[in-house]
Amino acid sequence: MANLGFVGLGVMGGEMVNRLLGKGHSVTGYNRTRSKAEWLVKKGMKWAESPRAVVAAADATFSMVTDSAALGAVMNGADGMLAGLTKGKIFVDISTVGPAFSREIAAKVREKGGDMVDSPVSGSVITLQEGKLSVMVGGRKETFERVKPLLEDIGPRVTYVGENGLALVMKIATNLSLAVQMLAFCEGVLLAEKSGIARATAVDVLTHSVIASPMVQYRGPFVLDMPKEAWFNVNIMQKDMLLALELGRQLHVPMPTTAVTNEFLTAARGMGLAEKDFAVVFDVLAQMSGAKQ
């Protein structure tokens, strides 16, 4: 049993804490909105009043927040995680943020005598609940070896990819494909539908065909029945697409399908769909094609 901390108890973060508690670990947690964490308190999670208090109470602290700005907010200041950090403590950031910003945070952590790895994950709430999440880790190899057993309690596949920031690069490279795949899937469904094939039939065929990646299998049916609570909303997906496009610009890697798909996410936001799951690009394409939504 490990003495852990967790900052950021949203949909994914909360489920991760649930798994860690189920494995017998002691977890102290903090979330900006406490009400979202009450179900975890009832399961045995200890509540802390600030990110600083979480780090002070734990040997290793995880964080999963929305973006670089949110990570900076919980890291810095009098009540931030850095303020509670002392020698020997480990920080594991699961957020998807810019690699350069993550390296800056890691340097600050090391100045305080601790160490940090970036450890984004690939998968959805369903894959997390089923214990099928894939975890990537960037940082010092010796620190990776220390946190690997903890990460395996979150997801069974844990891969070390290299120095700090490189796990984030790998996550961004993964996520851009999610949105691109979804847009291509939507094109196929609409082409079939406007030819006279029932939408449900097209979805069934495509989700059981050679193009059916795990993402297409679980998100494809969303074009028939969009979930009330987004698994991965348009705003967050576009944040990742913009990170990908910026990396492509820096590394001279052309990213034509990423750029086109990003424009459909912009259109979704313009239509007031920013908080919907990014599968809502189907509605954007359907409206453009004159299909019934």
Whole-number average pLDDT of the chain: 94
Q: Is the pLDDT of residue 138 over 90?
A: yes
- On whether both 185 and 283 belong to a single domain, the answer is yes
Output the furthest CA–CA distance in the chain (Å, rounded).
66
- On whether both 16 and 155 belong to a single domain, the answer is yes
**Cα(171)–Cα(112) distance, integer angstroms:** 27
- On whether both 173 and 150 belong to a single domain, the answer is no
How far is CA 250 from its chain centroid? 23
- On whether both 145 and 266 belong to a single domain, the answer is no
DSSP 223-273: GTS--SS-SSBHHHHHHHHHHHHHHHHHHT---HHHHHHHHHHHHHHHTT-
The CATH code of the domain that includes 194 is 1.10.1040.10
Residues 137/159, Cβ–Cβ less than 8 Å: yes
Catalytic residues: 171
- On whether both 143 and 226 belong to a single domain, the answer is no
Q: Is the pLDDT of residue 123 over 90?
A: no
Averaged pLDDT, 45-64: 96
**Cα(99)–Cα(68) distance, integer angstroms:** 10
Residues 21/43, Cβ–Cβ less than 8 Å: yes
Q: What is the pLDDT of residue 228?
A: 87
**Cα(14)–Cα(18) distance, integer angstroms:** 6
Q: Is the pLDDT of residue 114 over 80?
A: yes
**How confident is residue 131, by pLDDT bands cut at 50, 70 and 90?**
confident
Q: What is the amino acid identity at position 221? A: P
> Both tokens of residue 84?
């509670």
Strand partners, 29: 6, 47
**How confident is residue 118, by pLDDT bands cut at 50, 70 and 90?**
very high
- On whether both 97 and 187 belong to a single domain, the answer is no
Q: Which residue has the tokens 């910026």?
A: 246
- On whether both 259 and 141 belong to a single domain, the answer is no
- On whether both 27 and 146 belong to a single domain, the answer is yes
- On whether both 184 and 246 belong to a single domain, the answer is yes
Phi-psi region of 262 (alpha: psi -120 to 50; beta: other; left: phi over 0): alpha
Q: What is the pLDDT of residue 140?
A: 97
Q: What is the pLDDT of residue 249?
A: 96
Instruction: Pick the last residue of a domain from 163, 198, 229.
Output: 163
Q: What is the pLDDT of residue 167?
A: 97
Q: Is the pLDDT of residue 292 over 80?
A: no
**Domain extent at residue 256:** 169-289
Q: What is the pLDDT of residue 229?
A: 86
Q: Is the pLDDT of residue 287 over 80?
A: yes
Instruction: Pick the last residue of a domain from 138, 163, 188.
Output: 163
R_g of the chain, CA atoms, integer Å: 20
Instruction: Give the Cα-Cα-Cα angle 79, 17, 147 (nearest 5 degrees).
Output: 85
Q: Is the pLDDT of residue 174 over 90?
A: yes
- On whether both 136 and 22 belong to a single domain, the answer is yes
Picking from 227, 262, 226, 270, the residue whose alpha carbon sits closest to that of residue 241 is 262
Q: What is the amino acid identity at position 170? A: M
Instruction: Pick the last residue of a domain from 163, 192, 224.
Output: 163
Q: What is the amino acid identity at position 130? A: E
The CATH code of the domain that includes 129 is 3.40.50.720
Domain count for the chain, please give it: 2
- On whether both 197 and 284 belong to a single domain, the answer is yes
Q: Is the pLDDT of residue 111 over 80?
A: yes
Q: What's this model's pTM, rounded to 2 decimal places?
A: 0.89
- On whether both 213 and 159 belong to a single domain, the answer is no
Q: What is the pLDDT of residue 203?
A: 97
